[in-house]
Structure 1
Amino acid sequence: MVKPGVWQTVGIASGVAGAAGAAVGVGVAARRRNRIAAERRRLAAQLTSAPPAESTPRSEESSVTADDGVRLSCEEIEAPAGVRPALTVVLVHGFALDRRTWSLQLPVLAALRGPAVRIVLYDQRSHGRSERAPRATCTIDQLGHDLDAVIRALAPDGPLVLVGHSMGGMTLMALAEQRPDLFAERVAGVALVSTSAGDMGSQGLTAALLSRNNPLLRGVGLLARVQPKLVEGVRRAAGDLIWSITRSYAYGDRSVDPGLVDLVDTMIGANAVDALTDFVDTLGSHDRIAALPALAGCEVLVAAGDADKMIPFSHSERIAAELPDARLLRLPGVGHMPMLEKTTEFDAALVELIDASARRAAEGRSVRRMRRRA
Structure 2
Amino acid sequence: MIPLRQAADQTRTVRTPDGAELRVHLRGPVDAPVTVVLAHDWALASDTWRPTVARLVAGPRRPVRVVRFDQRGHGGSTLGTRPFSAAVLGEDLLRVLEDCAPHGPLVLGGHSMGGRAVMALAAARPGFVAGRVAGVLLAATAAGRLDPDDPGLPPHRRAAGVLRRALARGLARAPGAVDRLRALLPPHSGAYRAAVRRAAFGTRADPLAVRECAQLLHSTPTRVAVGFYEPLVRHDLSGRLGALRAVPVRILAGGRDRLVRLRHTRALARALPLAAVAVLPDCGHMLPLEAPEAVGAHLEALAALAGEAAEAA
- TM-score of the pair, normalised by structure 2: 0.90
Q: What's the secondary structure of 2:310's corresponding residue?
A: helix
SS in 2 for 1:173: helix
Equivalent position of 2:168 in the other structure: 217
Q: Distance in 2 between matches of 1:218 and 1:187?
A: 36
Matched residue type, 1:175: L
Q: 1:363 to 1:323 in 2, by over 3 A?
A: farther
- After superposition, give the CA deviation of every residue in 1:296-341 in whole Å (9 maximum; x if it has no partner): 1211110011110000122122222222221111111210012222
Give the one of 55, 58, 61 matched to 2:11. Answer: 61
1:93 is matched with: 40
Q: Which of the pair has more CA radius of gyration? A: 1
Distance apart, 1:221 and its partner CA: 2.2
Aligned 1:259-298 pairs, distance under 5 A: 259-298=208-247
Name the amino acid aligned to 1:89.
V
Secondary structure, aligned partner of 1:195: coil
1:35-87 Cα shifts (integer Å, max 9, x gaps): xxxxxxxxxxxxxxxxxxx9x9311101000121211111111239xxx4111
Name stretches of at least 5 consecutive residues in structure 2 with no aligned partner. 150-156
Q: Which amino acid aligns with 1:348?
A: A
Answer whether contact 1:85 1:116 (CA < 8 A) is retained.
yes
1:106 to 50, 53, 72: 53
Whole-Å Cα distance in 2 between the matches of residues 206 and 293 of structure 1? 32
Structure 1 residue 284, shift from structure 2 partner: 2.5
Counterparts in 2 of 1:292 and 1:318: CA distance versus 1, 3 Å: same
Paired residue type of 1:171: A
Contact 1:92 1:169 in 2 (8 A): yes
Residue 285 (structure 2) pairs with residue 356 (structure 1): no
Aligned-residue Cα RMSD (Å) equals 2.1
Q: CA deviation at 1:264?
A: 0.4
Give the conservation status (yes or no) of the 8 Å contact 1:224–1:231.
no
Shift of 1:206: 4.9
Deviation at 1:126, TM superposition (A): 0.6
Q: Which residue of 2 aligns with 1:334?
A: 283
Aligned: 1:234 with 2:184: yes
The 2-side partners of 1:223 and 1:295 are apart by: 39
Q: 1:155 to 1:238 in 2, by over 3 A?
A: closer
Query: Quick one: which amino acid aligns to residue 35 of structure 2?
Result: T
Count matched residues.
301
Please give the secondary structure, in 1, of the residue aligned with 2:239. Answer: helix
SS at match of 2:183: helix
Tell me the TM-score normalized by structure 1: 0.76
Q: Which runs of 4+ in 1 moved over 4 A?
A: none
1:182-221 correspondence runs (5 A): 182-202=128-148, 204=157, 206-211=160-165, 214=166, 216-221=167-172
Between the aligned partners of 1:321 and 1:264, the Cα distance in structure 2 is 31
Q: Which of residues 170, 183, 208 is equivalent to 2:116?
A: 170
Q: Deviations over 1:199-258 (max 9, x none)?
A: 2101526522453xx1x3222222223x366324334389432211100111111x4221
**In the alignment, residue 97 of structure 1 is paired with which amino acid?**
L
Read off the aligned partner of 1:241 and give its amino acid letter.
A
Instruction: Judge conservation of contact 1:299–1:357 (CA < 8 Å) in 2.
Output: no
Are 2:202 and 2:257, in contact at CA under 8 Å, matched by a contact in 1?
A: yes
Distance in 2, Cα, partners of 1:237 & 1:231: 13
2:93 corresponds, among 124, 133, 147, to 147
CA distance in 2 between partners of 1:71 and 1:150 (Å): 11
Which structure 1 residue ranges, 5 or more long, are not aligned?
1-53, 365-374
| Higher mean C-alpha displacement, 257-266 vs 323-332 | 323-332
